[in-house]
């Protein structure tokens, strides 16, 4: 094939709404997103910890925050991100050890990670509320 034929076969523009990512790509992207969420969560959790350790009034104010829906939702989101990131990290470690490297097992492990993350998220929601 000549170089000119290859250029003609390439798309003029990419329509991102028509591109379907495989489960393995979605798992990898979500793993990165959950890591970023946890980075911001560390700041929130450290602020809460600092507030509880400064005084009894600070502890009482943080404790009253946990009665509200917004704080419960934030904590549930943090736990969900932590759970997914942990499951995705274990999946990546197993793949780095030389297992689940084939396409079919990689897709199956990605889907299993999704299912386990949903189960963990539901359990975390029950625990928080």
CA nearest neighbour of 124 among 65, 79, 87? 79
The H or E element spanning position 75 is: helix 69-96
Return d(Cα 71, Cα 26) in angstroms, integer: 28
Residue 85 marked as a ligand binder: yes
Residues making up the binding site for heme: 85
Residues making up the binding site: 85
């Amino acid at each position: 094939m000549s170089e000119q034929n290859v250029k003609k076969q390439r798309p003029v523009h990419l329509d991102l709404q028509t591109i379907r990512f495989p489960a393995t790509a979605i798992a990898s992207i979500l793993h990165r997103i959950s890591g970023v969420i946890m980075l911001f969560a560390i700041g929130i959790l450290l602020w809460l910890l600092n507030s509880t350790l400064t005084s009894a009034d600070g502890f009482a104010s943080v404790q009253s925050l946990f009665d509200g829906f917004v704080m419960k939702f934030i904590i549930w989101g943090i736990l969900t991100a932590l759970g997914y990131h942990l499951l995705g990290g274990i999946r990546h470690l197993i793949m780095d050890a030389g297992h689940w490297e084939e396409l079919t097992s990689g897709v199956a492990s990605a889907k299993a990670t999704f299912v386990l993350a949903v189960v963990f998220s539901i359990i975390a929601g029950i625990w928080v509320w």
